Every structure is written in C-alpha cells, then in structure tokens.
Structure 1
Amino acid sequence: MSVSRSPLSADRGLLYLLLSAASWGTAGAAAALLFGSSGLGPVALTFWRSAGGTALLLLLRLLRRRPAGPTRALDLAVNGTGLTLFQIAYFEAVHATGLAVGTVVTLGAAPVLVALGAGLLLRERLGGAGAVAVLGALGGLAVLILGGTGAGTTVRVPGVLWALLSAAGYACITLYGRATAARPGPRPDALTTTLHSFLIGSVLLLPFALAEGLWPSQHHLGRTLVVLLYLAAVPTVLGYALYFAGVTAVRATTAAVIALIEPVSATVLAVTLFGERLAPATLAGAALLLLSVTALAVAETRQAAAVRARRSPHRPCRPAR
C-alpha cells in the first residue's frame, strides 16, 4: 500500500475492495454485541473505533518507517468528515432499527447514490439498464421501509433515515476517492489516508462522545475491551486501508456494488447470532433492492469493458493478400 508511480491494477483493486467489504460485515455485529452490555452509545462507540484505529495505524507507521507521501488539507477534510458520518450514522441505524435492516438499507442505498453522483460529477455514464436498476433499488427501499416487522425485527423510520445518511457519507468518500485518483502526480498511500481520516474523526467525535457517556461500564469490561480491539483492528484499520487503496483502481459504482458483500454477511450474522427475523414484505423489499443493485453491477461491468475496448491500442491485423 505504498506510494507508487504505477497505478494499482483493477484486479488487485477489486480484491482489496472485496476483502474490505467482508471485514466491514462484522462491524455491525460487534456494535450490536456492545450496545447491550458495554453502556456505550453509538457516538461513544464510533469514537473508540476511530481512536483505536488511529492508535494502531500510528504504531504501524512507526514500524513501517517509510515516507508518508503528500497530503492535502481538502483530502483530509473530505475523507475524515465523510468517514465519520458514514460510521456514526451506521451505528445509529443499527441501534435504532436493528443490524439486518440498518445494514441492508445503508449498503443497498449507497450504490444508488454513488451511481447518481458518478454520472453527475464524474461523467460516468449510467446507461438505460443502470437507470432501471436504480429505480428498482429505490422501489426496494420503499418496500423495505413500509414492509412491517418480523419476529425480533422492527423497521423504524428514524433508523432507516440514519442508514440513508450513512450511505450518503459512504458515497461522498467513494466519489471523492475516485476523483482524486485522476489527479496527476504522487498520492498518499492508503495507510496515510486512513490514519488521517480516523484522526480527524476522533477529534470531531470526542465532545459528542463525552456528552453521551465516554467510558464503558465495569460490567463485562473484559469482553467490551476485546470487542473494541477487534472493531479497531479488523473492520477499521484493515478494512479501510484496503478500501482507500482499492477505490482508486475501479469505477466509483463498481466500488459501491462490491460493498454489498457487507449487508449479506451482516444479515446472516443478525439472523444466526441475534435472532433477528425479517417479515415477508421486508424480505421482498431487501431482495428487490439487492437484485436491482446486482443488475447495476452488470451494467457497470459492461460499460467498463466497452471503455477498455475503445481505449485499447491494439487492433486485429488483416492477413496480407
């Protein structure tokens, strides 16, 4: 993940994003474990995740002993603020409406927002199939919100709104990361970007975490510390370092679509570990949303292949006669 003159290959970028999304899928489950026993609210939990990630990244920086690469104040502000919004709104959504619904809405809405933003800001064409997929995803969200409840699961409008706000934060850092990849000259490595983003997030969150209640309760303190360490190390340090590296190598919509691995894994954890159940209408809305975004991924893949074919310098040669 060091600064390089040659850009990251698309295949490696896709692998990084795949691993990143898989690690993120466990963050909501870790938060759900802590909400019931640690005494921490969503804001304090997000602060400790950011602060713990910052400490681990500083340690890695000292061990690595490599130059950090250039940084810009605007990059730090956008990534730090967007990442903080993404995290805190997601934990608020999980706290308000449950792990399954909160995750599905967040990661289902994110590709839609990214696709629309990529078309408007980055001139990435969505195409007719992509537009139909976006409309289908919006319809799926509507069904999901109005779908009622299942055993152990309640779809609450405030939680859904928090999830949509989280998706907006994710779309912001995805689109900005893709836009900065087109800039000429060297870029900071993924470790540096992640470190600065979480440092800014920790500073922004500290006063709000103090107001909510910063310190965990003594009850099950050992388990709380273990889960917080896992939350800082795996879905934070590892997940976001891989994300910031991979997002520069693929189209913005593709990056958002790959993140759908997260709601799949998080929903499985919600059902198997926490006993959450989705009502038939809610399940239908989630299925429509995910199928629509899958169609968006297919359209995106075909679009990218067509662009590569047009840009290829090689042309088939006709045999001499």
Structure 2
Amino acid sequence: MENKRKGLLFLHSAILIFGGTALFAKLIALPAADITVWRSFVAVAVILILLLLRRRPLGLQRPLDAAIMMIGGALLGLHWATYFQAMQVAGIAVGMVAMYTYPIMIVFLEPLFKGHRPQLGDVICALVMLFGIVLLVPEFDLANNVTQGVCWGILSAALFALRNVIQGHYLRGYSGETSILYQGIIAGVVVIPFVTSNPLQIDGESLFKLILLGALFTALPHSFFANSLRYLKAKTVGLIGCLQPVYGATLAYLVLAEEPGWTTIMGGTIIIGTAAFETYRA
C-alpha cells in the first residue's frame, strides 16, 4: 500500500505539473518553435545533472538504439512545437483537448508494429472521439483560429502517438529520464531551423520563464512520471493521465482567466472520457 501511495503521489504531481506546462504557451511571448528549443536544452541539462548525481548509466545498449532515439527525438520536438502552436492559436483548453486524441491514435498505430487488426470497439471509440473533435471546431474554415488550433493539436497528437509507440516497441529498456536526455537533444536541434527570435534579445523575464519551463515543468514531471511506473500499473497511469487536460484548463482559468466555451467543455468531455474508457479497456 505504501508503494501504491508513493506511485500515486508521483503520478498526480507529474500530471498536475504537465497541466501547468500549457500555461507557458501564453506566459512566454515567443513563437512556439523558440519555446520548444529552449525548453528542450534546459530540460536536457537538468536531466543530465540528475542522472550524473544518481550515477545512472548514460550509454545506449545497441547502435540501432541511437537511430531510434533520433527518430523519437525528432517526433518529440515537432510534437512540442505543434502543441504550443495549437494553444497559442486557439487557447489552452482547445489545444490540450485536441492533443488528447493521441490515445486513440495509438490504438490504430500499435497494430502496425504488432501485426494485428484494431478491434471493433477501438473503431467505435475512434468515431465517438471524432464527434468530440467536431464539437471543438466552430466552423470548417482554416481562417478561424480555433479551427487552426484543433488542426495543430491533432497533428501534435499524431506525432506524440507515433513517438510513444516507437518508444514502447523499441526502447522499453530505457528509463524515462534516459530517453528524454537523448531525445531532448534531438528535439531541440530539429526545431532550431524554425526559430525566428535572436537569443541575445530575449528579455530577462522570458529567459527566467524558459528556464522554469525546461527545469521544473519538463525535467521534473518526466522524472516523476517515470518513477510512478515503478509502483503502478500502466492502465492506472493511463487513466489518471486523462486528468491532464482538466488540470490544464483549470489552471488556465485560475491563472489566465481563460474560460472555455460550452462546446469545448462538451467536446473535451467526450474526448477525455473516450480516452479514459479506451485506456480501461486496454
């Protein structure tokens, strides 16, 4: 029971901090790509220090794993950039809910790696989630900011889902910290070409927020999340993880006074509920 409580404490702390990460899309006055690069490199520096202090091994087990880490890192960097873009364009609640379509995408991606077909229940869940997405979109016009945000969020979800499937299929032998260490470096490098601001012109307040985002809101929750998996079942972790958009939207309301509309709440409830149900079925 003590281990379970410890795992739940790690997990809820990680999910709450991950939810707070969304706030930086609005708190930092920089483009999404710029935020992603700084976030990646700060997180890598912090995780490297943590691993060295714990005297954890840093090497990779096979040469092939280096290539897979590079692919995972590229997907992670593009996921972070598109996720922040979604929230900057459409608001935190819409961006987070749209991104949370990734669990159902994993359901359809995993068969490609394991050689079996999706079940009928999975297809039904996907259709229900699609209905939730339709509720998020005010009009099917890319000139609309919310529609743009939903599209960015779904793209971010697809990138995240593919990265997670690759991670689970090929890199199960590595801790969350080790994976983020290598993938964080690649994530930052991949997104650098899209950076538009001069690093020397970033003001002190923005720089402080970037360091806070990378250290406290990226490195720390990933470490907590990895530790929670030592004490809890993967299904439990997935179900509780569905609270992340709820935490994020609540924090956005409290900190930024960003109030989601009823269609966002309804669509979000359908999407998050379907994700939780699919996780329970798994």
Whether TM-score is above 0.5 comes out as yes
Which structure 1 segments of 5+ residues have no match? 1-8, 149-153, 301-321
How far off is 1:170 after superposition?
1.3
Q: Give me the whole-angstrom Cα distance separating, in 2, the residues matched to 1:131 and 1:251.
A: 25
Q: Tell me which residue corresponds to 2:137.
A: 145
Q: Give me the whole-angstrom Cα distance separating, in 1, the residues matched to 2:68 and 2:228.
A: 17
The reply on whether 1:240 has 2:222 as its aligned counterpart is: yes
Q: Tell me which residue corresponds to 2:68.
A: 75
Give a deviation string over 1:217-248, Cα, whole Å, max 9, x none: 56xx4432332222111231122344566679
The aligned amino acid for 1:116 is F
Q: Which moved more, 1:224-233 or 1:235-244?
A: 235-244
Q: Taking structure 1 as reference, are residues 279 and 60 closer, same or farther at Cα in structure 2, changes over 3 Å only?
A: closer
Q: Give me the whole-angstrom Cα distance separating, in 1, the residues matched to 2:242 and 2:27.
A: 22
How far off is 1:75 after superposition?
2.4
Q: Taking structure 1 as reference, are residues 273 and 49 closer, same or farther at Cα in structure 2, changes over 3 Å only?
A: same
Q: Give me the whole-angstrom Cα distance separating, in 2, the residues matched to 1:133 and 1:253.
A: 17
C-alpha contact (below 8 Å) 2:235/2:280 kept by paired residues: no
Give a deviation string over 1:70-114, Cα, whole Å, max 9, x none: 24222211221121011011011111111111111112x111111
TM-score using structure 1 length: 0.73
Q: Tell me which residue corresponds to 1:311.
A: none
C-alpha contact (below 8 Å) 1:46/1:88 kept by paired residues: yes
3-state SS of paired residue (1:240)? helix
Q: Which moved more, 1:131-140 or 1:54-63?
A: 54-63
Q: Tell me which residue corresponds to 1:312.
A: none
Which one of the candidate residues 182, 188, 201 is aligned to 1:196?
182
RMSD across aligned positions (CA): 3.2
Q: Taking structure 1 as reference, are residues 251 and 155 closer, same or farther at Cα in structure 2, changes over 3 Å only?
A: farther
Q: Give me the whole-angstrom Cα distance separating, in 1, the residues matched to 2:167 and 2:9.
A: 17
Q: Tell me which residue corresponds to 1:58.
A: 48
Q: Tell me which residue corresponds to 1:101.
A: 94
Q: Give me the whole-angstrom Cα distance separating, in 2, the residues matched to 1:252 and 1:92.
A: 29
The aligned amino acid for 1:42 is A
C-alpha contact (below 8 Å) 1:178/1:247 kept by paired residues: no
The aligned amino acid for 1:144 is L
Which structure 2 segments of 5+ residues have no match? none
TM-score using structure 2 length: 0.82
Q: Tell me which residue corresponds to 2:149.
A: 159
The aligned amino acid for 2:26 is A
C-alpha contact (below 8 Å) 2:73/2:182 kept by paired residues: yes
Which one of the candidate residues 16, 21, 25 is aligned to 2:15?
21
Q: Tell me which residue corresponds to 1:310.
A: none
Which one of the candidate residues 210, 213, 235 is aligned to 1:231?
213
The reply on whether 1:30 has 2:24 as its aligned counterpart is: yes
The aligned amino acid for 1:137 is M
Q: Tell me which residue corresponds to 1:111.
A: 103
Which one of the candidate residues 13, 31, 35 is aligned to 1:41?
31
The aligned amino acid for 1:101 is V
Q: Give me the whole-angstrom Cα distance separating, in 2, the residues matched to 1:13 and 1:27.
A: 21
The aligned amino acid for 1:271 is Y
- Please show how residues 201-280 of structure 1 align to structure 2 within 5 Å: 201-209=187-195, 212-215=196-199, 221-243=203-225, 257-280=239-262
Q: Taking structure 1 as reference, are residues 181 and 202 closer, same or farther at Cα in structure 2, changes over 3 Å only?
A: closer
Q: Tell me which residue corresponds to 1:178.
A: 168
Q: Give me the whole-angstrom Cα distance separating, in 2, the residues matched to 1:248 and 1:147.
A: 44
3-state SS of paired residue (1:66)? coil
How far off is 1:173 after superposition?
2.0
Q: Give me the whole-angstrom Cα distance separating, in 1, the residues matched to 2:116 and 2:251.
A: 35
C-alpha contact (below 8 Å) 2:132/2:267 kept by paired residues: yes
Give a deviation string over 1:165-185, Cα, whole Å, max 9, x none: 111121012111221266xxx
Give a deviation string over 1:118-177, Cα, whole Å, max 9, x none: 2443367764444332221111011111379xxxxx852221111111111210121112
C-alpha contact (below 8 Å) 1:69/1:188 kept by paired residues: no
3-state SS of paired residue (1:47)? helix
Give a deviation string over 1:21-77, Cα, whole Å, max 9, x none: 332111111221113xxxx21111111101111221232233233322424222211
Q: Give me the whole-angstrom Cα distance separating, in 2, the residues matched to 1:110 and 1:34.
A: 25
C-alpha contact (below 8 Å) 2:21/2:213 kept by paired residues: yes
Q: Taking structure 1 as reference, are residues 279 and 297 closer, same or farther at Cα in structure 2, changes over 3 Å only?
A: same
3-state SS of paired residue (2:137)? helix
